Amino acid sequence: MGVSYSDGRLSMDHDPLERGPQDACGVFGVWAPGEEVSKLTYFGLYALQHRGQESAGIALSDGERIVVYKDMGLVSQVFNEATLDSLRGDLAIGHCRYSTTGSPVWENAQPTFYSAREGGLALGHNGNLINTPELAAMLPDSRRGATTDTEVLTNLLADYANGEGRTMEQAARELLPKVQGAFSLVFMDEHTLYAARDPQGIRPFVLGRLGETSGAGGWVVASETAALDIVGATMVREIEPGELLTIDERGVRSQRFAPAQRKGCLFEYVYLARPDTTIAGRNVNSTRVEVGRRLAKQHPVEADLVIPVPESGTPAAVGYAEASGIPFAQGLVKNSYVGRTFIQPSQTLRQLGIRLKLNPLREVIQGRRLVVVDDSIVRGNTQRALVRMLRDAGAAEVHVRISSPPVLWPCYYGIDFATRAELIAANLSVDEIAASVNADSLAYVDLDELIAASEVPKNELCRACFDGVYPIEVDADSRGKFLLEKSCGTPGAKLATK
């Protein structure tokens, strides 16, 4: 038993552009004795990098002690081959993090770790808890300084396991019904991998089997099916809402800690998940293409070209072009290597704004009437800069089409949307937004059309950011307070704003 940490530090990154909606983390876990679980976890996290680009970490056990290695930065910045070769064991969990509020510092990187005489516990969390203060109040006074919802949960789970002779499995089964919010959890002790999903199943979570295609043997859990693909695992099934899995040498055991009340996040289909991921049996790319088709039928326009805002707008643009008969073209080139940077841009570069990530193909755009397809508008700053850039490149008209409904409400379950006061659609009409971003026209797909494209029943989806109907209610008095306590934020007396 024991723990060791990386000691590197990197400065906070600076992004001169408005960020798109951010998810609060991706999780991965593997139980595969005799295999290179550190490298399997690395590649799993690599596939989930889009879910969190702030920090990355791996916890690994060789059966005697847990080692945690984590740092600020992208997965490829945190780990190299020498590091992975030194991390040997039979089971591991991994995490890539994006903090919605609170301090984006090394201390808050995951997996979190708790050490006691009885054994160690490492835990990674995708989602956001909405009753963190109540959970923190259950901790002994000596550990109420926890600075994230995940750390609070780790300490509580360890306390439950260390008290009254409970096993980790028993502790989780007793504690998890008391936890409210969105959580897809991977956690481990020295010998066993565990996975648990909140009763609403808000964030995606899947179970896979190693061995059929990779040559390795064992089990994998991950935020998205794309992570299974990259490590050669075969999809077995989704982890059910309200389900706890225990994975060890005896195989996979399933228990229910709460009845399922399915409310999967609709925005996963819009933006968050990779297009090659499958959620609830529906391929995300197919959903996005179908949304584009429906958007074209709902909001046609006379134009010369349909161009996407890469990459998230591309599938919907393909569908829009297909249904409208307007030719599809790549009018914007994305610099895939910009991403999140740790270099503070100069004022001159900051003024270039969106050109750091997107650059127009003037030869394609000049003199053309454009339909520009994007996935969402949150604050409007990026869309405004994009329209300006296209007009500067010679576009005759710019008609913006959005493959999601207006984002009207903040998310309390793990997506970094702005407060309602900052959401442009909550404060302006569609025509006013069009004028604000200087588009010739603007239209959003209807909510019912988006739901139909997902092929998931409306009552099994969380649509709160679009319609304000929250499946796990956060009362009005606590909503303002809660905005300071989002996943990877700070609970209790240590609340911190952005």
Structure tokens at 465: 């950011």
107: pLDDT confidence band, cut at 50, 70 and 90?
A: confident
**Residue 99: pLDDT over 90:** no
Residue 481 pLDDT:
42
- Each residue of 1-10: pLDDT tens digit? 333 333 322 2
162: pLDDT confidence band, cut at 50, 70 and 90?
A: confident
Top pLDDT among 103 and 227 is at: 227
**Which residues, other chains included, contact 129 with Cβ-Cβ below 8 Å and sequence gap of 6+?**
135, 149, 152, 153, 179, 180, 181, 182, 183, 487
pTM: 0.88
Q: What is the mean pLDDT of residues 195-212?
A: 95
Q: What is the mean pLDDT of residues 125-152?
A: 85
- CATH 3.40.50.2020 at 283-456, yes or no: yes
Which residues are known catalytic residues? 25
27: pLDDT confidence band, cut at 50, 70 and 90?
A: very high
Q: Are 173 and 195 in contact (CB under 8 A)?
A: no
Question: Could you tell me what percent of the chain has a pLDDT over 70?
Answer: 83
Q: What is the mean pLDDT of residues 319-344?
A: 82
- Each residue of 240-290: pLDDT tens digit? 999 999 999 999 999 999 999 999 999 999 999 999 999 999 999 999 999
Mean pLDDT of the residues in the chain: 86
Question: Could you tell me what percent of the chain has a pLDDT over 90?
Answer: 72
Least confident window among 83-87, 116-120, 292-296, 349-353:
349-353
Q: Among all chains, which residue has been given the structure tokens 């259950």?
A: 138
Q: What is the mean pLDDT of residues 146-165?
A: 86
Top pLDDT among 146 and 277 is at: 277
Q: What is the mean pLDDT of residues 123-130?
A: 94
Among 349, 346, 367, CA closest to 357: 349
Q: What is the mean pLDDT of residues 379-402?
A: 95
Pick the CATH number of 26-263+489-494 from 3.20.20.80, 3.60.20.10, 3.90.1170.40, 3.30.230.10: 3.60.20.10
Q: What is the mean pLDDT of residues 131-156?
A: 85
**Residue 216: pLDDT over 70:** no
Counting runs of H as helices and runs of E as strands, what totals does the chain give?
Answer: 17, 23
- Each residue of 77-95: pLDDT tens digit? 999 999 999 999 999 999 9
**Residue 486: pLDDT over 80:** no
Among 346, 348, 306, CA closest to 323: 306
Residue ranges covered by each domain of the chain:
26-263+489-494, 283-456
Domains 26-263+489-494 and 283-456 share a fold: no
211: pLDDT confidence band, cut at 50, 70 and 90?
A: confident
Pairing of strands 397-402, 441-444: parallel
**Residue 16: pLDDT over 60:** no
Report the alpha-carbon distance of residue 401 to residue 328 in Å, rounded.
Answer: 14
Residue 214 pLDDT:
53
Residue 342 pLDDT:
45
Residue 3 pLDDT:
35
**Residue 15: pLDDT over 70:** no
Top pLDDT among 355 and 372 is at: 372
Report the alpha-carbon distance of residue 247 to residue 217 in Å, rounded.
Answer: 13
Residue 8 pLDDT:
29
Rg (CA), the chain: 23
**Residue 430: pLDDT over 50:** yes
Residue 103 pLDDT:
57
Dihedral (CA of 99, 102, 103, 107) sign: negative
